[in-house]
Every structure is written in structure tokens, then in C-alpha cells.
Structure 1
């Protein structure tokens, strides 16, 4: 309640004062400036639509959301008693929250009806608990989102529809959180009043810039892009581009030891994002570390595809990528025996290539290591939400014009897998608080999106996520039906415990498909940090076991935990396969002309 002193000045309680406008004129001016910047957002979006760029390069995701949630709604509404019961549960929860909030005004020691989950960072500000208004908003939101999740859990839906409904309800729950809105987030409201709305001007300016950077789509900035430059701050391991075609560059790195393992090491990275995740900086670089362990390291750097690459299929990526790299290695080193590594979808391609090579008598790869690679997509996680016949057909129509999928669309799909970490905290920080994100090399790499060639992407989605053809022995390449059981070379199969892209269980099930000696290793953390974990960091752990690969839960229960990085364990495994050493090899020792220094040209092309 406000009061007036002897001079007639109105004063407010301290807890209310912080939410009031301090300088009305400045606040009004800043609101007008913020609206002006927001107009630039609308202009960027409208201009892209008028040019037809958004319609031709992306498929509409909202149609599937509406269809899925309509199926969920239909289940509850077709039985009036069931619908009434669900509504009653929600209204009862609201009444309980309301009653609790009233009691807490006079008895603050009373506990809350609904508390955030452990680790939920959205409601850390003390006002979410101490202020009755914000406390009520928080609890009402929590009971609503949990009620919505229960609707999905108890609905009679097929597995795929249920999975999609759970995912979409989770996305909506994240989006409507009171922490995401100016008037319902105490921290945002305080900052806005304290700065007289200057934060909104900065935020809308960044929002306009990010829409422009995305060509009319929102490209959320996770770090300041001007802080990093490839070849100057990232991808610094010395090497040369020793070969190039229209699909790939082959990089060979300078040796760091007097002798090296006789077998060169070929790394096949994913074409989704770029290879320098394995060479972020000298402290975190797997490539540099492998060179220092005595490997002659070659890496495929995939082209960032455009209209010219729309018809490049999986066989092209095998012939013009993997086999081109093997030919280059043989030309550079005179070696016909190679150790290979495949990361994520690069590993899936490598697995299919090995099955094809087995049919064709191509035997140069003598061991293979997979980093968080799926070959069996039964348990492929939330990415399967985006894959069914209707969605793939829509995507194929969208790609048919330009011959590729824009990198922004792919990046947003991956961000949605971790919306609570990669979308909404940045929306709040960047566009409402008006604060630029901190420099972070990993998030710079994450935002350095690549386009997806139409034929390549369609083949991958249909043969892996939709029909699971590779693990079932139905995948066809070069006129041959492939079987992973034909791959009999030793395999080191690394999964990550908290991986949301290639779940550990999915990688485990894929281990059963191969015909050779299998070493399954489970690393701590997720899809990136679980792989990029140098020994010097002294972080995380990994698990190994001599148990059979019959059951994932049983394997985990019997696994032995080792603190720190799995890298030395892998080095012992791979050097134990062939310990022969030869004098260190320098790139282009055969006299060929250099095509440039690592990291090359292809990695520089931005989507």
C-alpha cells in the first residue's frame, strides 16, 4: 500500500518500489526506440517472405504440431467424463495453489504446493518465493505444465504420436514459462525499471540483427561471433590441405613426434556442423592430442553444400569422401592399412561404407572407432520426433527448389532438443535483458551451421531414422544390399551417458549389428563434452565392462568406472592393434603442390 508524507509525496513499500518506473520520460523514449527496433525484425521477416526465401528453404513445422496435439485433444474430448475429470484435476490444483499462496502471506514458512525440479535455473531469484504474486505465477505454471504432461502420459496414443506429443508439450511448456516474459519475471522487471527500458532497446536491436543473420528466420546468438575466427582462434593444429574435390578437402597434420604409428589415422566427421569440434583450441583438440600420441592424422573437411551439391547422395559421400581420403592417404604415405574414426553421422556413413567395402573387397581400413554413432535407430531419441512420412515429404518439397536445407533450420531443430538450455535462456538474456552472451568457443562452433544437401539428407532420414534400414540389412548402395555383420574388423564404440542426439542405449544396440570384435565404452556427459574430454581437464569418467552386449541395463550395472578421460584408454586399444612405428611423415613429402594450410577453405564457408 502507498503512503503520503507531510509534503504530499507518495511512497511505496521497498518491495514494490523496485517495480515502478523511475523516469517516465526516459522510459517512454526507450519504449519507442524498442518498438522501432522491433519494426526492423518485422521488416526482415516480411522481406524474406516477399522474396520467397523462407517458403523455398524450409518446411512448416507447425502443421505437425497442430496435427499431433489435435490427436491428443481428440482422445480426451471424445469422452465427456474423461475430459471433465482432467479439467477437475487442473482446477483443483489451481485452488490448492491459490489457497497456499493466501496462507503464505501470513505464514511464509508454509511449503509450496509445486516446487521446481532440482537444477531448474529459471526460478532462482528470491522474489519467486518471497513475492506472493510471482510465487503464485510460478506455482500455477508448474502445476499446469505437469498436468499437461500427465495428459500425454495417460492418453491412448501410438508410440510415435505419444513421443511427438511429449516433445511438443515440453516445447510449449518451456515457451510459456513466466520466466520468459517481462511482466512476469521479477528479475527482468527490476532491470527494465532500473534502466528505464534501455535493456529492451539493446535487446530488440540484437533481435533485429539475429533475424537479419538468419535471412528472415531467427538465428539465436549463443556467443558473440566477432570474438572468434577459424584459423586464428580455432582449428589451430598445423597441417596442410593435401587433396580437394568438389565434396571434400583432405587435411594432413604435421607430426609432433620423431616416429609415428605405421597405420595412418583417418577421421570422418559429420557433415552436420564442421570438423573443428575436434580441434577447437590446443587445450581441447583431439586432433592435436592424437598427433602428439604418434598418429599421422588425416581429416575429411566436408564442403558446405549449395545448389551444386543437391544431387550428391550417400554413395557420392563414400566415393568422393571416404575413398578419396583413402586414395590420398595411400598416395601421401604409401600405406594401404588405415585406422578410421567416424563421429556421429560421419560414423553412420563410415559404418555403411565398411559394409559396402566388404562386398567390394576394399580392405584398407583395418580398425574403426565410432564416436557417439548410431547404426540402429530404434532408440534414436527426440530427433525421431521430426521424422515421419508426412514430415519428410514436406522437407523434400522444401529442399527441391534450392537443392539443400538451410543451416538455420537444422540448427533450430538441434536447439529444440535442449530448449531449456539453448533457446529460452538466450531469448531472456539477449532480447529482454539486452545483454550480449559471453564468448564461448563451443557455442561459436554450434552456431556455425552447415546446409544439408537434398539427396544426402533425404537418404539419411529415410534409411536411418524412418525405416532403420542399415541395422536391418535393407540399406542399398551401389546396387548392393548392405549387412553390418560383414564388418569384421575390430571396433571401439564410444557412447556418452547423457547424449540426447545418439542415446547411449541406441549406440549399445547398434554394437550388436557388427561381425567383429566389439569394445563398447560409455563416457560421462553428452554428445560433445563426452567426446571432447582431454586428459588434462580431469573431468567426467568412463565405463568399461567385459560383460556381454546382450542387455544395456545389465552392462551398465556391471561396468567398471574410471575417473577422467577415455582418450588414453582408446590410445592403448588402438596402439595395441598394431604397434609398428615408422619415421614421422610430413605433409606433401611426395612433392605435390600445397592446396593451402589447415584448416582449409571449405570450413570457412558460412551457411
Structure 2
């Protein structure tokens, strides 16, 4: 049977549909209104057909109302009476003593009780799909956070006191901050204060040279800081969703500078910031032109037989893919593998999974198809929504109502220096890894052949962070179930970024660590946590000791790559 002739309307229909979907994506900040509608329809119909659940929720509402009335009565006679409900540990909106005064105590208590009721109402509904439940609960939480009494002058005693103390000046200052931020956003200028952290001058200043360049990466080799170094160099693969210098911030909190000081030769990949011309670059291009090309360059420059490889976030996922591909092909150059907050199994990706379903990916595909890439602002908006209390509403309150602009620091300046994602790569990444979980399930292919994470037999060091909304540590931990390699897993305090930038001497840091020996049974996350050794301080020395234990005795440092293509930080990191 011959193939039918292509319909001439096919290309028109695709272009029209994608253009319409791209407009919808822009109007809804990259979120799919269809996913939200489907989720609330699923939840609402199941609730409507569940009289028992309706009765339970009505009873809970009545009990919470009674708790609030009882609290009000007790407070009228005893100002020291305990609250009807305590905020969640991470919720600090009502910490100020002013919220304990009447009537604001009733306002805050009523809000917290309502928030708790809605959480119960939108979770645990029999018959509702897990994804729809998560979306409904998340969307409801966003609406409640938007309507929180802290966001309004009439219901926020702390804000009222600030207005009185400043004679209303704080509102004028806040308006000025808002106008400045809007102007910077419209003009494409970076946020206020970023200019104090210039790349190559204030951050990313560890001495080094660009020793290799292709159309996608520059490879930086850092100058030795000690007489002798371990013969096995360390190749770091950062995520291309971010600029590499989160690992080389200010001199006092630079992981690269610290690692060089421990007697290691360090190489760093610096990814190009792609534009529409890179729309067809896919995951294979990133593997071959990224870690594969860098590994070959490090081998040629140093002559080392073995190399330590470390990957951060998305870079860690790509490094795991590259390492499994090398293992399949009999390439044994990797002495060890280190993964910082990097997932390899995406069955439980945390709240980021809220943005991953067919409807959502169709919208993102259309937005990227039109531009050729996904802009960093779209990704940043999604990450902010995951922590809207901390990153959206508290910012609006403090900056635009209180009139107090938070001082810029190096990590905040780095976070504002976003990158773009090529259309083909990002679409493939989201579908194959997040949506279909091809890597963990053995369906992911490189060079046309499947790879298996079970082929990873080199020693592995993994870092998860306690408050990671991007790569939850329990998801990161799943590599234990996919390979029998010796794995030293470390859980650090902090979040996805601040938990990794955890230099020695940083206050209030701690970590837990334990090793699963090669081919030993894989512990569950809870079993691992119960057996782990808790330590105070930075986790960096723990990793340094592990690297040293898997390295040879120090010797003279290898030569710097020649010819130099320019001093670090290079050209690609400066691209806007």
C-alpha cells in the first residue's frame, strides 16, 4: 500500500495550532489552563459523587469554626490563651508579635484554619488521579497565598505599623521600587543591584584558562594552587539551565577555588547561551558536545588514565547518561561519579511534576516552537510559583509595601543571570525523562542503542538537599535502586542552590551521610536516613576526603592546555 500524499493543510494546521497555543502560554505565564480545568473537574465531579466526603468536610468546617469561636472566647478573658492552630514550620508570615493582638490574631487564625480545611478538601479524594490532585491542591494553595491577610494593608498590623512609623514614606519608596523594577523588566535590564556582581571581576574569578571550545561549550582548566595535585583531574558538568559560576561565586564561597586548594586539577564546562539558531540541538548534541567532548579534551591535555566526573542538577542527569553510555561501550576512564542534586529516576520529581503532563508539554512545545527556545523567565516563573510564599508574596510585601529592598548578594545575582533552552533539547528532556522516565526504565538511547544505569559500577558520591523543590532528595536517592555501585549518599541542609553553595565556616549548616556498599541491598530513603551519620558544618570536606580516598598519591600538576583560548571565565558565560 502506498503512502498517501501529505495533506497541504497539515503544515498550515500545525502552524495555526502552535501559534494559538503559544499565545495561550504567554497569557497564562506558561501554565496550561486545560490542565488546571481538568484537575478541578476531576476533583469536583468526584466530590459531587461522594456524599460521605461531603459530610466529612462539612463536619470539619463546623469543627474549625467552633475552634475559632472557642479561641476568640478564651482570648477575650485570657490574652495568654494558646492558639487554635499553629502555622506550618516553614510558614513565617505570622511570626511578628503584632499578629497576637486583637483582632489580627482572629484574622490570622481564621486564615490558617481555612488553609488547613482546603488542604484536606483537595487531597485524598478517592478516584482522583494523583496528578490532578496535586494540581488542584497547588492551585488552591496559590489562591490562598494570594489572599493571605499579610498581603493587604487593612489586615496586616506589621505593615500598618510600618506606615505609621515612616509617615507613609514606605509606600512611596515601594512605589519607586516597583516603577524601577517594571522599567528594568521592560527594557531587559538586570534586577537592581546585580551590577555589583560582575562576572570575571566580582564572581567567577578563580584563575584559569579556556583550553577547549566548540559550538556548545567552553572548557575551563583552573590553575593549580598547590605544589602537587592528585593525578586524577575533576571534570565538572553544570546544568545548562544555569550559568556555571554558581560553583565559582565569590572567592570565599567558590567550590572550584576550594577544590583546587585541596590539591585537585579542576576542569569546568561553561555552556553557551543558545538562541533560535540552536533550536534543533537535542539531548544527543548536548551529550556529545558537552561531557563527551570535555572528557576527551581533559584526557588529551592531562594524559590521565582516570578522571573524576561531577555533575550538578540537569548537568548531573546528563553526566549519568554519558557515564552509562561510556560503560556500555567499554570506556573505563571515569574513576568516580559525583552527582549534586541530580535525578535519574523521575517517578517522583516533586512539585515540579505539576508542570509536566501532555497538555502542559504541548503548550511549552508551542511556545518553544515559535521562538526556537524556552526563555529563562518562563522557567524562573515556574520555580517561583513552587515557593510563592517566599519568592513572590513576601517579596511584594517587603519591597513594594514595606519599601524595603532586600540587599543583593552573589547567589541572587547569579540567579538573575538566566539562560535559554533549545526547543529540541528541552522538549526531548521533558518528554523522555520527566514524562516517560525512559532513563530509569532502560529505554533511553545514545548512538541509537539503549543504555542502562545498572552499568554504572564506579564509586558514586551523591548529594541531596533537605528543602529541594527542583530535585527532591528522595527522588535523587532512587539511584540506589538502579545500580549496584558503591554509593555514598549525603543529605545537606538548605535547598537546591544554597544547599550546594555551602562553604566551610558557613553558619547553621549540617549534613547526614551513609554508604551503601557495592551490591548490598538498596535502602529506602527512610532506612538510609535512620542509619546516616549526622554532622555539623559544611559537606564540602566530606566530599574532598572521599575524592582523595579514590585518587592516587599527589604528584606534579599536569600542564595547562595549549594554546589558551583566553582567560577564565571565557566568552560563553558572558552571553545574554
Identify which range, 292-301 or 543-552, moves more after superposition: 543-552
Contiguous gaps of at least 5 residues in structure 2: 1-19
Offset of 1:166 from its aligned partner?
2.6
Distance 2:252 2:279 in 1: 37
Q: 2:529 aligns with which of 535, 553, 556?
A: 556
* Contact 1:381 1:502 (8 Å CA) reproduced: yes
Aligned length: 551
Distance 1:312 1:319 in 2: 11
Q: 2:549 aligns with which of 565, 576, 583?
A: 576
* Contact 1:57 1:398 (8 Å CA) reproduced: no
Q: 1:406 aligns with which of 364, 375, 399?
A: 375
Alignment pair present for 1:151 and 2:121: yes
* Offset from partner CA, 1:120-158 (integer Å, 9 cap, x none): 3211233321122x2222122111111100102242212
Show the 5 A alignment for 1:495-510: 495-510=464-479
Q: Larger radius of gyration, structure 1 or 2?
A: 1
Q: 1:243 aligns with which of 180, 188, 212?
A: 212
Q: 1:294 aligns with which of 252, 263, 270?
A: 263
* Contact 1:56 1:399 (8 Å CA) reproduced: no
Offset of 1:95 from its aligned partner?
5.4
Distance 1:115 1:373 in 2: 34
* Contact 1:277 1:442 (8 Å CA) reproduced: yes
Q: 1:141 to 1:555 in 2, by over 3 A?
A: same
Q: Which residue of 1 aligns with 2:575?
A: 605
SS in 1 for 2:39: helix
* Contact 1:100 1:113 (8 Å CA) reproduced: yes
Alignment pair present for 1:254 and 2:223: yes
Q: Which residue of 2 aligns with 1:204?
A: 175
C-alpha RMSD of matched pairs (Å): 2.8
Q: Which residue of 1 aligns with 2:539?
A: 566
Identify which range, 312-321 or 178-187, moves more after superposition: 178-187
* Contact 2:170 2:401 (8 Å CA) reproduced: yes
Alignment pair present for 1:177 and 2:148: yes
* Offset from partner CA, 1:305-324 (integer Å, 9 cap, x none): 21111111111111111122
Q: Which residue of 1 aligns with 2:193?
A: 224
Identify which range, 545-554 or 231-240, moves more after superposition: 545-554
Q: 1:128 to 1:332 in 2, by over 3 A?
A: same
Distance 2:515 2:25 in 1: 49
SS in 2 for 1:582: coil
Q: 2:68 aligns with which of 91, 97, 107?
A: 97
Alignment pair present for 1:397 and 2:361: no
Q: Which residue of 2 aligns with 1:345?
A: 314
Q: 1:101 to 1:550 in 2, by over 3 A?
A: closer
TM-score, normalization: structure 2? 0.88
Q: 1:359 to 1:558 in 2, by over 3 A?
A: closer
* Offset from partner CA, 1:25-69 (integer Å, 9 cap, x none): xxxxxxxxxxxxxxxxxxxxxxxx9x9798399634444334323
Offset of 1:467 from its aligned partner?
1.0
Offset of 1:502 from its aligned partner?
1.8
* Contact 2:232 2:552 (8 Å CA) reproduced: no
Distance 1:316 1:197 in 2: 56
Q: 2:560 aligns with which of 587, 596, 599?
A: 587
Distance 1:151 1:205 in 2: 41
Alignment pair present for 1:305 and 2:271: no
Q: Which residue of 1 aligns with 2:14?
A: none
Q: 2:456 aligns with which of 479, 487, 504?
A: 487
TM-score, normalization: structure 1? 0.84
Show the 5 A alignment for 1:58-137: 59-79=30-50, 82-83=53-54, 86-87=57-58, 89-90=60-61, 93-94=64-65, 96-98=67-69, 100-101=71-72, 104-118=75-89, 120-132=91-103, 134-137=104-107
* Contact 2:40 2:132 (8 Å CA) reproduced: no
* Offset from partner CA, 1:167-197 (integer Å, 9 cap, x none): 2222222222110122211122233344454
* Offset from partner CA, 1:458-480 (integer Å, 9 cap, x none): 11111111111101101122211
Q: Which residue of 2 aligns with 1:328?
A: 297
Offset of 1:515 from its aligned partner?
4.6
Q: Which residue of 1 aligns with 2:386?
A: 417
Show the 5 A alignment for 1:441-590: 441-537=410-506, 539-545=509-515, 548-588=521-561, 590=562
Q: 1:186 to 1:601 in 2, by over 3 A?
A: same
Q: 1:234 to 1:146 in 2, by over 3 A?
A: same
Distance 1:162 1:74 in 2: 12
Identify which range, 91-100 or 275-284, moves more after superposition: 91-100
Q: Which residue of 1 aligns with 2:6?
A: none
Distance 1:536 1:195 in 2: 38
* Contact 1:337 1:364 (8 Å CA) reproduced: yes
Alignment pair present for 1:283 and 2:256: no
Q: Which residue of 2 aligns with 1:14?
A: none
* Offset from partner CA, 1:258-309 (integer Å, 9 cap, x none): 1111121100001112111111112211101111111111100111221111
Distance 1:192 1:74 in 2: 46
Q: Which residue of 2 aligns with 1:45?
A: none
Offset of 1:400 from its aligned partner?
0.2
Q: 1:208 to 1:62 in 2, by over 3 A?
A: farther
Identify which range, 94-103 or 295-304, moves more after superposition: 94-103
* Offset from partner CA, 1:234-281 (integer Å, 9 cap, x none): 111111112222211111111101111112110000111211111111
SS in 2 for 1:583: coil
Distance 2:113 2:542 in 1: 46
